[in-house]
Homo-oligomer: A and B are copies of this chain.
Amino acid sequence: MSSKKTIKAAFEAMMFTLGEPLDVKLAADVLGISNKDACAYFKELQDEYEQEGRGLRVREVNGAFQFVTSSDVYDYIERLCTPSKKKKLSQSALEVLAIIAYKQPVTRGEIEAVRGIKCDRVLEGLENKGLIAEVGRSAGVGRPILYGTTDTFLRHFGFTSIEDLPGIDDIENAVHEQEEDDDSGQVTFNLNESVAQ
């Protein structure tokens, strides 16, 4: 049986070697410990790096863990090397991605209904970037493709899991609150409308 220290050291070295997120199950298998214990050790590491204010952080992506740099020292890295930049997504890509992220699994038709505009090109682009993937077929007419987000999506946005997304209910509330605010100043104009026509 390996000591706690050895297990954590092994996880560090394994994450470093792998680069991409290391699945808890796989890590637990290699060490011969339970998934639950493995997960607890990863969380401990995560806390340590954060609390010690290190330049590396342990990031969780859908039940897997990876080393990434701390965003606190971004400026230095940028000064050191112009790192191969992940490209920012376009506005339309972000919109489509938001619809998929919150409504998944979702068909192209449903996405287009929300945006009022075709989005086959955007979908293709997102799929090529690995941010979305086909996750099945709808039972509806023509059995259209259902889309969902991928782990690459989580990594690109720094989300731990899909539950980590800002709550859609909050968004709805935010929209409504804003509307109410808007409403307060509008009463007088509303009457004018019928007259104007």
Contacts and interface: CB of A to CB of B under 8 A. Distances in A.
A154 B53 CA distance: 31
Given A6-B73, A69-B17, A12 B54 contact: yes
A56 B12 CA distance: 7
A11 interface: yes
B26 A70 contact: no
A56 B45 CA distance: 13
B67 A16 contact: yes
A69 B10 CA distance: 9
Contacts of A17: 69, 77, 80-81, 83
Interface of A: 5-6, 8-14, 16-18, 22, 26-27, 30-31, 53-56, 67, 69-70, 72-73, 76-77, 79-81, 83
Given A9-B54, A14-B55, 11 more contacts: A5-B53, A6-B73, A9-B70, A10-B73, A12-B54, A13-B55, A14-B73, A17-B81, A18-B81, A30-B80, A31-B76
